[in-house]
Amino acid sequence: MTFDLFRSTHKAIWDQLEKIPGPEPSFPLGNISDFSGQPAWEVCASYAKRFGGVTKIWLAGTPALVLNDPKIIGDVLGSQDDRYYKDAPHDALAPIITAENMFIANGATWQYGRSHSPFSYPVFAGWLDKIFPILQQFVRRRIRQTTGEIPDLIAWVRRLCYDAFSLAIWGELLGDNSYSQFMELAIAGNHRMLGLPVLQKIPPLSPEFYLRRSHWYEDFETRVAKAKSNPDPSANHLLGLTLEAGSMLTTQQLANQFSAPVYFGGVFSMASSIVYTLWCLNNAQSYCAVLKQDLGKLDRFDESQISLPLVECLSLDHALREALRLHPPVPLYFRNTNPRLQVDVGGHPVPPNTMLFISNWYLQRYSQHWDLPMEYMPQRWTDGGTQRNPLGSDYFFPFGRGPRTCIGQAFGMFFMKIAIAELLRAETLTLDPQWSLQSDYFFAVQHPKGLKATI
Ligand code: HEM
């Protein structure tokens, strides 16, 4: 009855999209209720099992497609990216991370942001080697300074990541105030992202929010201005290296590039993967013993030589890749079809500006591609596993695919390996044995919820 009412109310679009399979909508909300009470990416995976690689759903009276077909996802994110753009989560995040942030920008603004990101500059490659010992020593020190129970490991690791970024990019820690302002901005953004895309301007932001926001951003502008007026040719941090190499960006542009895309893009996702990996390894004791042995062998290298061996340590690399496969921190994101073009998706003509849900969750656990997909098996990456499934390929794209692939992928893999290795080497980290897997979702990133640890 409500289905008939829904169909007759939206008859014109209904007829156009009739051939695309999908769950039955009901009047007036369509399929929105499917998404209440369970993670959206699990709902998307359940559609794949019932309807195949392209599923039509209705967000009230607006149709959207859920994609679970690797070829179509590859086209949308890759070769045909001019036909699609990133709409969500622009409205939710623009006031928080700025509309120019490449994470939400499109067209020329995105192109400019991406090509002028410090992560795209030639200084980037040399920087990783330079900051390796600094970050390694920093993580060791932080572990030594922590004793007793950590009530929520994810919170501790987020702060570790925030501070590591600050050292690597700005050359110093930014302190408690900066971190709490950052978290307040993230909480505001998170509230706005939890709603449906059409509700992303809710809740509105308060004058206090704008005050904190300007404090957080102004601090970066002051730092860039200071670094410009007192150049330090011996600096190892990314800002110093970028200024040394010469940059066309203004103080404000540099401050923006070195702050929001990095901290909001990296802190939550890296913390999530570090904790998922530690937890998975804790449940795979024999693999973990081999990994610790490998890390022990690296300790015998001269410290100044250690960078490459650690980052290239295969057992560590495989442990991290496998956690990224099984527990991708960013399991769902969106594109829209170009509002000015008639676009076919998977051979189906769809109305302009149709929203597409893109998830790696189903494909990274797809049983016809992955043997025992629900098992944590780092060994699957040996013997050509990595070459068969490189980052950004059909069944493994935790950092996305195509031209908008995560710009922090190389730094992310680099720092996550350092952090995981140091936490394992410390031999003093114990995870709560009573904890069973529960995940939460914050700022578009899923992460382990409430895992206690002791150092
Ligand atoms: C485990 C770590 C990380 C994961 C899983 C991850 C995941 C992703 C994914 C899936 C995308 C693509 C989103 C889309 O296509 O809509 C993305 C984009 C992005 N990520 Fe990451 N990320 C990680 C770490 C980082 C780090 C460390 C940084 C910063 C240094 C960062 C900054 C960004 C930025 C700026 C974009 C937007 C790129 C663009 O649109 O051109 N991410 N990330």
> Bridge-partner residues for 344, per DSSP?
349
Long-range contacts (CB closer than 8 Å, 24 or more residues apart) made by 168-177: 168/127, 168/131, 168/134, 168/135, 168/237, 168/238, 168/411, 168/415, 169/118, 169/237, 169/238, 169/239, 169/258, 169/262, 170/223, 170/237, 170/239, 170/258, 171/235, 171/236, 171/237, 171/239, 171/240, 174/219
| 240 Cβ below 6 A of ligand 1 | no
**303 pLDDT tier (thresholds 50, 70, 90):** low
pLDDT of the residue at 81: 65
Instruction: Give which of 95, 99, 51 is closest to 192, Cα–Cα.
Output: 95
Domain boundaries, given as residue ranges, for the chain: 69-454
Say which residues have a Cβ less than 8 Å from residue 252's Cβ, sequence separation at least 6. Answer: 221
69-454 is classed CATH 1.10.630.10: yes
What's the rounded mean pLDDT across residues 410-438?
Answer: 93
Mean of the pLDDT values across residues 180-185? 96
- pLDDT value for 125: 81
What token pair was written down for 160? Answer: 């570790």
Choose the residue to mutate in 239, 257, 274, 406 for probing ligand 1, maximizing ligand atoms within 8 Å of C-beta: 406
Q: What is the mean pLDDT of residues 214-219?
A: 96
The predicted structure's pLDDT at residue 126: 87
State residue 204's pLDDT score: 80
Place of tokens 């542009």: 253
Q: Given pLDDT bands bounded at 50, 70 and 90, which one contains residue 200?
A: low
Q: Which atom of ligand 1 is nearest the CA belonging to 105? A: 40
Q: Give, using CA atoms, the residue closest to atom 24 of ligand 1.
A: 266
The pLDDT, as a whole number, for residue 446 is: 97
Instruction: Decide which of 87 and 204 is more confident.
Output: 87
How many other C-beta atoms are found inside a 10 Å radius of the C-beta of residue 358?
23
- Nearest atom, ligand 1, residue 114 CA: 41
Q: What is the pLDDT of residues 108-155, one digit of tens each?
A: 999 999 998 888 888 888 899 899 999 999 999 999 999 899 999 999
Whole-number Å distance, alpha carbon 408 to ligand 1 midpoint, is 6
Question: What SS3 string covers 306-341?
Answer: CHHHHHHCHHHHHHHHHHHHHCCCCCEEEEEECCCC
The strand pair at 439-442 and 149-150 is best described as unpaired
Positions of E strands within 86-228: 149-150
Look over the chain and give the mean of its residue pLDDT values, rounded to a whole number: 93
Query: What is residue 193's three-state secondary structure?
Result: helix
Stretch 216-225: mean pLDDT, rounded? 97
Position 388 confidence tier, pLDDT thresholds 50, 70, 90: very high
Per residue in 48-60, pLDDT (tens digit) is: 999 999 999 999 9
Using a pLDDT cut of 90, give the percent of the chain over it.
82
What is the share, in percent, of the chain residues with pLDDT greater than 70?
Answer: 96
Q: Is the pLDDT of residue 398 over 70?
A: yes
Does position 198 have pLDDT exceeding 60, yes or no? no
In this structure, what token pair is assigned to residue 424?
A: 């394992």
Q: What is the pLDDT of residues 333-379, one digit of tens each?
A: 999 999 999 999 999 999 999 999 999 999 999 999 999 999 999 99
- Give the mean pLDDT of 241-251: 91
Q: List 343's β-bridge partners, or say none.
A: 350
* pLDDT the model gives residue 299: 65
Q: Which atom of ligand 1 is nearest to the CA of 261?
A: 35
